[in-house]
Amino acid sequence: MKAQYKLVRMPNPNKGEEAAEKQPLHARLVSCGTLRTKELVERVGEVSSFTPAVLRGCLQALRDHMLNYLEMGYNVELEGFGTFSLSLHSKPVMDKKKIRAEGITVDGLNFRPCKELKRKLSTIKVERSDRVESDPTYLSKEECERRVFTYLENHSYLTQQIYINLCHCSRTKACQDLNRLVAEGQLICSHFGRNKLYKKPKE
């Protein structure tokens, strides 16, 4: 089975659908879903002498040790995979005296794939999907809202990235739509660290 793609336009959401038709097409991967750790270790266990429990334990130990060394300021390299390093965030200042350690936070991980991994990835062949419509414009407001509230029937919140995945839109469009839903009182926004969580108001 080959990875599949669809063709999409990335219009400026401020210029409407007519402008969208004049934008160039870009290839976008059609996701087959997310392979969870449980299924991954089970599949590896089927083709190796390691049990899923042993594999899960190794992954947890690897994660814990990677985190320890990242906390100490090390870059962590996994041979054949790539290098991980901390990503920092701080407010931009002109005077170095105006920023202190308390104002600097870790906001994620950087990942730099190694040459071997990039070489192997470059050999992957893809094919056009016949399961999805190519060259779509943005979904209608009504369809996006339907998807959002259907999702929230089974989940306590959604994030901007989840909205992007549900509605196949740009980050800018997702931000505008979510802000509108909050302003209209259809959603409420709370913060968890640097992330915004969008929920239905309590009835």
Residues 109-165: pLDDT tens digits? Answer: 999 999 999 999 999 999 987 654 444 456 788 889 999 999 999 888 999 989 988
The predicted pLDDT at position 58 comes to 96
Q: Is residue 43 one of the residues assigned to a domain?
A: no
Does residue 24 lie in a domain region?
no
Domain total in the chain: 2
11 pLDDT tier (thresholds 50, 70, 90)? low
Backbone angles phi, psi at 74, to 5 degrees: -80, 150
Residues in the chain: 203
Q: Which domain holds residue 191?
A: 138-203
Does 200 fall in a domain? yes
The answer to whether residue 68 sits within a structural domain is yes
**Is there a single domain that holds both residue 113 and residue 143?**
no
* Nearby residues of 82 by Cβ (< 8 Å), 6 or more positions away: 111, 112, 113, 114, 117
Tell me, yes or no, whether 170 lies in a domain. yes
- Predicted pLDDT at 133: 46
* Contact between 167 and 8 (Cβ < 8 Å): no
Residue 132: its pLDDT value, please? 45
Please enumerate in sequence order all residues whose Cβ is within 8 A of that of 126, keeping only pairs 6 or more positions apart, or say none. 2, 3, 4, 5, 27, 29
Question: Do 145 and 106 share a domain, yes or no?
Answer: no
- Positive/negative CA dihedral, 87, 90, 93, 99: negative
- Does residue 88 sit in the same domain as residue 143? no
Q: Put residue 41 in one of left, alpha, beta given phi > 0 → left and psi -120 to 50 → alpha.
A: alpha
Residues 61 and 112 in one domain: yes
Are 111 and 172 members of one domain? no
Contact (CB, 8 A) for 23 and 11: yes
149 and 197 in a single domain? The answer is yes
Supply the pLDDT for residue 121.
93
What stretches of the chain show up as alpha helix (H) in DSSP? Answer: 16-20, 37-46, 52-71, 115-122, 141-152, 160-167, 171-183
Place of tokens 């640097």: 194
- 163 lies in the same domain as 197: yes
β-pairing verdict for 3-9 and 126-128: parallel
**Tens digits of residue pLDDT in 14-62:** 555 455 556 777 788 877 778 889 999 999 999 999 999 999 999 999 9
Domain co-membership, 112 together with 168: no
Residue 29, in any domain of the structure: no
Residue 17 belongs to some domain of the structure: no
Integer Cα distance of 50 and 187 in angstroms: 47
Same domain, 158 and 191: yes
Q: Are residues 161 and 112 in the same domain?
A: no
> Which CATH number do you get for residue 167?
1.10.10.10
pLDDT, position 140: 81
Q: Which of 17-31, 89-103, 162-176 shows the lowest per-residue confidence on average (mean pLDDT)?
A: 17-31
CATH number where 79 lies: 4.10.520.10
Angstrom CA distances, 99 to 37, 85, 106, 114, 125, stand at 40, 22, 15, 34, 48
Residue of 105, 101, 103 lying closest to 193 (CA atoms): 105
